[in-house]
Amino acid sequence: MKLSIRHTSRYVFDAPVRGVVQNQRLFPALCGSQRVLQWSVNTPGATKGACFRDSAGDWVETVSIRGPVKTVEVQVTGEVETTDTAGVLRDHAEQVVPSVYLRSTRQTAADAALQALTHEALEPAGTQPLARAHALAGAVAEAIAYKPGETEAHTTAAEALSGGIGVCQDHAHALIACAHVADIPARYVTGYLQADADGQVHEASHAWAELFVEDLGWVGFDPANQCCPDERYVRLGSGYDAQDAAPIRGLVQGGTPAEHLEVEVTVSRHQQQQQ
């Protein structure tokens, strides 16, 4: 499937700031399920700086903007050809070994409820690693209903489970927490999702989790949509949690003005795909 992506993030500050520095992980991962046909990330007014491919295989660019500046806009446009690998991350060059992703963070730490959810889900699942991973993803989807606007960026997995509602970030955090309880390496993945017209699929700027499944390697699970990533998904990067994997992580220098973020994302199926 050929997907066209337009993703604009506009940061507006109440008062001009002296400068902004951003780490951007806005480049599609190099992996078997996707091929980049065209891609550009543009931050008007910014000096492009150090860039490198990090240990987990993500391309990172650091940009700086000298102020005074009131608005920072990051524009991403591109086309990616995707194929369905049933969620399996194939041919992805990375150097971090899976066991590193057994480490929990504040947002992915399991409390008693997440531990209980894990054990309940695993009991009927048997010993087959893929079945166990599916069982956890299913349990999380069931325990946390999708509802935007109720949770915050800093909401933890435990809080989301106790509230019973959340968005893709909360689902991913909860699944990572459960996986860790089960001693399964798990991580947070960011990307794009082509939203269907029927309203079944949410959030074009998306996040899900990858669990390390023996014999298969890293496999994506998207509890928010109760599926594994397929050809509608474009994978960007990964990390321990939402903060660690954030496609844009920035810091304002000089002052702490209120910041408003407007994000527009459209992921559309390319016309030529029909031929």
Partner 1 sequence: MTDTGIYNEMHQNGGISAAYRNLDQWLDTMPADLRSLKQSEAEALFRRVGITFAVYGEGGDPERLIPFDMFPRVFTDREWRKLDRGIRQRAAALNAFLADVYGRREIIRAGRIPEHLVTRNEAFEKTAVGFRPPRDVYSHIVGIDLVRTGPDQFYVLEDNCRTPSGVSYMLQNREIMMRMFPQLFVENRIAPVDGYARLLKKTLASVAPEKCEGEPQIAILTPGQFNSAYYEHSFLADLMGVDLVEGQDLFVEGDFVWEKTTEGPRKVDVIYRRIDDAFLDPLCFRPDSMLGVPGLMSVYRSGGVNICSCPGAGVADDKAIYTYVPDMIRFYLGEEPILDNVPTWQCAKEDDCKYVLDNLADLVVKEVHGSGGYGMLVGPKSDKSTIEAFAAKIRENPGNYIAQPTLALSACPTFVEEGIAPRHVDLRPYCLVGEKIELVPGGLTRVALTEGSLVVNSSQGGGVKDTWVLAE
Site residues for partner 1 per CB under 8 A: 19, 21-23, 47-52, 54-56, 60-62, 64, 66, 95-97, 99-100, 102-103, 240, 243, 249-251, 253
Nearer to partner 1, 159 or 244 (CB): 244
Nearer to partner 1, 229 or 250 (CB): 250
Of 163 and 257, nearer to partner 1 (C-beta) is: 257
Smallest distance from partner 1 to CB 59, Å: 11
Angstrom distances, CA of residue 1 to CA of 164, 191, 234: 34, 16, 11
CB of 23 to partner 1, least distance (A): 4
Measured from the CB atom, is 57 or 163 closer to partner 1? Answer: 57
177 close to 140: Cβ distance less than 8 angstroms: no
Nearer to partner 1, 34 or 104 (CB): 104
Report the run of H or E that residue 40 belongs to, with start and end.
strand 34-42
For residues 103 and 119, which CB has a smaller minimum distance to partner 1 in the complex? 103
The distance of closest approach from Cβ of residue 3 to partner 1 in the complex, given in angstroms and rounded to an integer, is: 28
Whole-number Å distance between alpha carbons of 221 and 207: 10
Residue 227 CB, nearest distance to partner 1 (Å)?
Answer: 28
CB of 102 to partner 1, least distance (A): 6
Instruction: Please identify, using beta-carbon distances, which residue of 1 and 96 lies nearer to partner 1.
Output: 96
Q: By the 8 A CB rule, do 185 and 98 touch?
A: yes
Per-residue burial over 124-161, b = 16 or more CB atoms within 10 Å of its CB, e = otherwise: ebeeebbebbbbbbbbbbebbebeeeebeeebbbbbbb
Cα(234)–Cα(193) distance, integer angstroms: 6
- State which residue, 37 or 100, has the beta carbon closest to partner 1: 100
Q: How far is the CB of 188 from partner 1 (least distance, A)?
A: 13
Those residues whose C-beta lies under 8 Å from the C-beta of residue 112, and which sit 6 or more positions away, are: none
Closest contact distance (angstroms) between CB of 48 and partner 1 is: 8
Residue 91's φ and ψ, nearest 5 degrees, are: 50, 45
CB of 245 to partner 1, least distance (A): 11
Neighbours of 92 (CB within 10 A): 18
Sign of CA dihedral 63, 244, 149, 184: positive
Whole-angstrom distance, CA of residue 38 vs CA of residue 81: 10
CA 226, distance to chain mean position in Å, is 15
